[in-house]
Amino acid sequence: MDLIAVAPMLDWSDRHYRFFMRQITQATTLYTEMVVADAIIHGNQQKLLEFNSAEQPVIVQLGGSDPKKLQQASKVCQEYNYAGINLNVGCPSDRVKSGNFGACLMQDANLVADCYSAMQEVVTVPVSIKHRIGLNYNNDYGFLRDFVGSIAAQGCTKFIVHARNAVLTGLSPKQNREIPPLNYEYVYNLKRDFPGCEIVINGGVKTIVDIDSHLKQVDGVMLGREAYYNPYLFSNFDQLYFKHQAKAISRKQVAEQMLPYLYQAQKQNIKLHHITRHMIGLFHGCRQAKIWRYQLTNGIIKTNAIETYTELLNIMDEC
């Protein structure tokens, strides 16, 4: 169950970010950025799907609308030992041709149900659906209830719900994360109407107060942008929500624990910035946050040297 989860974020939640987040929280569920089914079938599967076992529990998110292709991609994903597979039905794209994906699929609940059935048929890990509460400016709760009901009827028991509509024309994907108003009550209603399903809420969650409020109504909470810009928010989540006894790690300890990973990346000729770009928010709200951000963006890019990173560690204070 995803009591607390970090959302799949395109270009952000790659394996380097997930490894970094795993230094802060051991129990939070992590998601990959979306991987298109066609890319898995025809592309470099190892590059797309390989991850460090330390990232577990991690769930792979797939994009696609062809049940057969999604089935084939799901079989491959299971071979990589992901904890689960998620189908993206929330990306605010207006593309509706075969092979496309995202929120436009909410227009065809039967197709989504077929995709779910095809995927779950060939894997033993749970398959879930991530979707919006509606399309365009249709605010009819009945549409959302019937959409979820059609897929639940095929056996799906886990729905991650971004509590905004997806406006398919006129708004960019970025605007779709901000402009359509949040409607948490619709997600709460889903839990009441489908008590046997796991309902995870997503959208606009920024604080522990927000999380605690939502957990009174639904089964889990997923954070996206806040998890990226303010990752240390998660530092005591293992203690608060998963009853871990170990003391929360400090910001500086997190930074120090990333050193072996950076050394290994350097041996593999991976540019350090590909990793450190995800760590910019670690000292968010601290006195030296500006120094940290500047060196991880400018310094590391210029030198690609671990010495730049270790010198920065030496001047950083605990926050």
Question: Is 115 among the residues known to form the active site?
Answer: no
CB 49 within 8 A of CB 12: no
Q: Could you tell me if 257 and 177 lie in one domain?
A: no
Looking at the fold, whether 192 and 108 belong to one and the same domain comes out as: yes
C-alpha distance from residue 181 to each of 35, 136, 285 (Å):
27, 12, 27
Q: What CATH number does residue 297 fall under? A: 1.20.120.1460
* Whether residues 302 and 186 fall in one domain: no
Output the six-digit token pair for 223. Answer: 């954070």
- Looking at the fold, whether 205 and 294 belong to one and the same domain comes out as no
CATH code for position 11: 3.20.20.70
Q: 77, 91, 104, 197: which is the annotated catalytic residue?
A: 91
Same domain, 256 and 236: no
pTM above 0.85, yes or no: yes
- Shared-domain flag, residues 216 and 256: no
Alpha carbon distance 276, 293 (integer Å): 10
Domain membership of residue 271 as a residue range: 251-315
pLDDT tens per residue across all 319 residues of the chain: 899 999 999 999 999 999 999 999 999 999 999 999 999 999 999 999 999 999 999 999 999 999 999 999 999 999 999 999 999 999 886 554 345 788 999 999 999 999 999 999 999 999 999 999 999 999 999 999 999 999 999 999 999 999 999 998 888 888 888 888 999 999 999 999 999 999 999 999 999 999 999 999 999 999 999 999 999 999 999 999 999 988 889 999 999 999 999 999 999 999 999 999 999 999 999 999 999 999 999 999 999 999 999 999 999 998 8
Do 223 and 124 have their domain in common?
A: yes
Please check whether residues 106 and 190 belong to one and the same domain: yes
How many domains are contained in the chain?
2
Q: Do 177 and 280 fall into the same domain?
A: no
Domain match, 285 and 218 both = no
